[in-house]
Amino acid sequence: MTTPVLSAEPIDELRCAFVADRPFLLDEGPRKFTRPEEATEAPPAEAVLAVDGVREAVFSGDRVTVVRDPAGPSWDDLIPRVQYALGAAVTSAAIVVDPDRAPVLDDEAMYDEVEHIFQTQVNPIVAQHGGAIELIDVQDATVVIRMSGGCQGCGMANVTLRQGVEAALKKAIPTLAGIRDVTDHGSGDNPYFSSTSK
């Protein structure tokens, strides 16, 4: 599994088209999203709308046109963040789930399954950005993790965690209650994206 190739083509001051090497959504569209609650069944749209400064996203096949808030960050700041969010969402959708695997019911079995997914599918992807995600524990079906490297202190860590990792784990383990991040993001030395002030 590889991170999708995404090019950015600015259209004007407020709109930019992002083109991938594969379709973003299962249906070819076009589909317009302006609020996160509209996008709960479309992880790439949900991920884009989670980026601070994005107002709207229109998906059609391998292309998404993003409209930014004129009072928000510039395209110089938004383009890499949108590319990252889209990449995380598309990649998590490609996580391989074995349909014949027994359902995970207890914390110990869930720990083993999550550790396997992290080692074989998640960490190879976040390593492309100099990061790593460590599984600390599973408590009452909640996965406890710690991010390091480029993920620690990254301004897009929450997008990676919620739209990428958590979505992928819930796809593989429907009984997962959620993820708790215990990372000290304030002490990150080399974040992939710096945090932006809101």
- Identify the three-state secondary structure at position 180: strand
Per-10-residue mean pLDDT of the chain, 198 residues long, equals 72 93 74 86 86 92 93 93 83 58 76 89 80 92 91 78 80 87 80 56
The answer to the question of residue 26 being in a domain is yes
Domain hosting 58: range is 6-93
How many domains, in total, are found in the chain?
Answer: 2
We report the CATH number of the domain holding residue 125 as 3.30.300.130
pLDDT at 1: 46
We report the CATH number of the domain holding residue 62 as 3.30.1370.70
pTM of the predicted model as reported, rounded to 2 decimal places: 0.58
